[in-house]
């Protein structure tokens, strides 16, 4: 019977990967089955048991093991139009992959259906210089206003040097009325910049994000759609600065067409948990499985998804013997601003929320120019979780910085908002590495931590293998500690 089970599990895995057009990671089904055959030994006391399990999981969850999953995710993206977007077939195939390996490791997998509103973009086009001009890549702002079907043809305008477009006075003496305004994203926020431009009579706004990688282009999101009254889109810094020069020079005209509509869709959260463990003390380890539709999303966030998957596989054979129940979740549509996690939390009863002792999350943990940032609210259960990560890194001489949990927008914030302790880490994304951080972490000062964040180059070739090797065992180690003992987190969270 056992050999038949192994055969069917392997056949199912091969079927998933063949559909995705990727090679089977060497020995992955065998490792999952072997994990299912192990059993934990009794520890000498709760702390000793926590250390024993933590060390065992950290040894099993290596960068090399996680990299095999990344190879599969990259292959899925390559076979699915280049991405694993939340509303695309690459996400569905990624979910198949995770589900198949979880079942091979002995878990039952639940798919939680998550309704959400998508923003289907049918046209995003920018022509510079009229009929004989050139096309420039442009990205419509999600949930922002669109143009008429025929688009907008208008001159470009921009505030004088030193003005950001954050205040009405920035447009004094500028022919903004009837124009498409070009702006660098400023500290006041692009919603404010759009409002001020609209107040000056602009017909549209083109924004760019100034970074050390001027070829990059980032899609913006209208978090409050009611605050946006004119079509707003983004261009690369290189194209934006060229348009700014044109606006101050020869009065170049542009033709901007943005067409999109809101669409009701569903995605899924994948949920698996240990068969054993105290259901009154749940430790939840999660990561978002989706990418933005423009990229394979390997550092953001296949690396953490793969780390969670490998932790689950490594714990599979011990799932009947853990002290606390461990729940693994792969979130859907995080890139649409925490859709999957927000739905999950909103549908927890008060009792179910109280049973979750801690939530662990991670983002971009193998950035090309990496840092190591541990999320620490400074007090409460989240501070205890940060100290666990600190204990791991301190014990291995690995440098890190503590940062506020909100420094990275991700799924843990939905839990934090309802008072559930959260912890985790990230490797940095759009921020620029300082000389002090270069001295601490290596890499290159003056460059972004991840120049491929939300870009097509977010592929397996650009992740930092040393960061991968150092960070994924840390996730496993902290999970192992919590699977045995959450008393310190509970005590710090108590009112």
Residue (of 217, 47, 50) closest to 139 by Cα position: 217
CA distances from 364 to 64, 410, 423, 427, 466 (A): 17, 11, 15, 5, 13
Residue (of 390, 466, 140, 95) closest to 271 by Cα position: 95
> Any idea what DSSP says for residue 440?
H
SS (H, E, C) 445-469: CCCECCCCCCCCCCCHHHCCHHHHH
Q: 260 has which bridge partners?
A: 121
Cα–Cα distance, 53 to 314 (Å, whole number): 10
Cα–Cα distance, 202 to 176 (Å, whole number): 5
Q: For the chain, count helices (H), then strands (E).
A: 15, 14
The label of the residue with tokens 């009065």 reads: 251
Mean pLDDT throughout 45-74?
88
Cα–Cα distance, 36 to 32 (Å, whole number): 6
Residue of 124, 334, 335, 363 marked catalytic: 334
Res 251 pLDDT > 90: no
Res 1 pLDDT > 70: no
Q: What are phi and psi of 362, to 5 degrees?
A: -160, 155
> Any idea what DSSP says for residue 365?
T
**pLDDT at residue 46 in the model:** 52
Same fold, 2-107+274-493 and 118-263: no
pLDDT level of residue 9 (50, 70, 90 thresholds): very low
Q: How far is CA 338 from the centre of its chain?
A: 9
The label of the residue with tokens 């498409």 reads: 180
3-state secondary structure of 357: strand
Contact call for residues 124 and 151 (beta carbons, < 8 A): no
Res 171 pLDDT > 50: yes
Nearest 10 degrees: Cα torsion 144, 147, 151, 157: -60
User: Which CATH number applies to 2-107+274-493?
Assistant: 3.40.630.10
pLDDT digits (tens, 9 = 90+) for 367-420: 999 999 999 999 999 999 999 999 999 999 999 999 999 999 999 999 999 999
Cα–Cα distance, 93 to 73 (Å, whole number): 9
Q: 330 has which bridge partners?
A: 270, 287
In sign, the C-alpha dihedral spanning 93, 95, 97, 103 is negative
Mean pLDDT throughout 27-46?
42
pLDDT digits (tens, 9 = 90+) for 300-328: 999 999 999 999 999 999 999 999 999 99
CA distances from 296 to 159, 388, 452, 460 (A): 37, 31, 11, 9
Q: How far is CA 300 from the centre of its chain?
A: 5
Question: Is residue 334 annotated as part of the catalytic site, yes or no?
Answer: yes
Pick the CATH number of 118-263 from 3.50.30.30, 3.40.50.970, 2.40.30.10, 3.20.20.60: 3.50.30.30
pLDDT digits (tens, 9 = 90+) for 279-289: 999 999 999 99
Contact call for residues 283 and 347 (beta carbons, < 8 A): no
Return all residues near 83 (Cβ < 8 A) that are at least 6 apart.
Answer: 77, 90, 291, 292, 293, 294, 295, 296, 297
Q: What's the token pair of residue 137?
A: 């890549």
Residues making up the chain, counted from first to last: 495
pLDDT digits (tens, 9 = 90+) for 88-139: 999 999 999 999 999 999 999 999 999 999 999 999 999 998 767 899 999 9
Contact call for residues 262 and 222 (beta carbons, < 8 A): no
First CA to last CA across the chain, in angstroms?
52
Domain ranges in the chain are 2-107+274-493, 118-263
Contact call for residues 13 and 101 (beta carbons, < 8 A): yes
Range scoring the smallest mean pLDDT among 41-55, 248-262, 451-465: 41-55
pLDDT digits (tens, 9 = 90+) for 193-239: 999 999 999 999 999 999 999 999 999 999 999 999 999 999 999 99
């Amino acid at each position: 019977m056992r050999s038949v089970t192994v055969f069917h599990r392997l056949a199912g895995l091969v079927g998933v990967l063949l559909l995705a057009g990727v090679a089977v990671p060497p020995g992955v089904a065998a490792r999952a089955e072997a994990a299912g055959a192990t059993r934990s030994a009794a520890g000498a006391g709760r702390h000793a048991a926590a250390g024993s399990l933590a060390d065992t999981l950290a040894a099993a969850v290596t960068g090399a093991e996680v990299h095999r999953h990344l190879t599969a995710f990259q292959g899925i993206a390559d076979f699915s139009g280049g991405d694993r977007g939340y509303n695309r077939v690459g996400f569905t195939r990624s979910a198949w992959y995770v589900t198949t390996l979880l079942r091979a490791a002995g878990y039952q997998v639940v798919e939680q259906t998550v309704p959400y509103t998508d923003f289907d973009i049918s046209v995003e086009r920018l022509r510079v210089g009229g009929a004989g001009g050139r096309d420039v890549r442009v990205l419509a702002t999600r949930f922002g206003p669109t143009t008429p079907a025929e688009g907008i043809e208008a001159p470009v305008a921009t505030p004088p040097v030193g003005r950001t477009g954050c205040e009405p006075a920035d447009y004094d003496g500028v022919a903004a009325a009837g124009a498409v305004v070009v702006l660098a994203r400023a500290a006041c926020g692009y919603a404010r910049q759009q409002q001020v431009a609209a107040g000056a009579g602009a017909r549209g706004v083109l924004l760019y994000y100034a970074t050390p990688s001027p070829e990059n282009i980032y899609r913006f999101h209208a978090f409050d759609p009611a605050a946006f009254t004119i079509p707003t889109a983004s261009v690369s810094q290189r194209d934006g600065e060229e348009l700014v020069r044109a606006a101050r020079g020869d009065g170049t005209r542009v033709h901007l067409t943005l067409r999109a509509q809101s669409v009701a869709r569903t995605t899924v959260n994948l949920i698996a948990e240990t068969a054993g463990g105290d259901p009154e003390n749940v430790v939840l380890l999660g990561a978002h499985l989706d990418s933005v539709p423009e990229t394979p999303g390997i550092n953001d966030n296949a690396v953490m998804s793969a780390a969670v998957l490998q932790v689950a596989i490594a714990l599979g054979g011990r799932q009947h013997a853990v002290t606390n129940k461990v729940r693994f979740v792969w979130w859907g549509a995080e890139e649409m601003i925490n859709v999957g996690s927000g739905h999950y939390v909103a549908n927890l009863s008060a009792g179910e929320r109280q049973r979750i002792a801690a939530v662990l999350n991670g983002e971009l943990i193998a950035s090309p120019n990496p840092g190591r940032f541990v999320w620490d609210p400074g007090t409460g259960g989240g501070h205890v979780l940060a100290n666990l990560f600190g204990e791991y890194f301190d014990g291995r001489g690995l440098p890190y910085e503590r940062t506020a949990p909100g420094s990275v927008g991700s799924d843990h914030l939905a839990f934090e908002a309802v008072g559930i302790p959260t912890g985790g880490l990230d490797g940095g994304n759009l921020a620029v590495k300082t000389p002090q951080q270069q001295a601490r972490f290596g890499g290159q000062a003056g460059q972004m931590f991840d120049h491929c964040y939300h870009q097509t180059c977010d592929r397996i070739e650009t992740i930092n293998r040393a960061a991968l090797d150092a960070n994924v065992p840390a996730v496993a180690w902290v999970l192992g500690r919590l699977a045995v003992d959450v008393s310190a987190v509970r005590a710090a969270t108590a009112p």
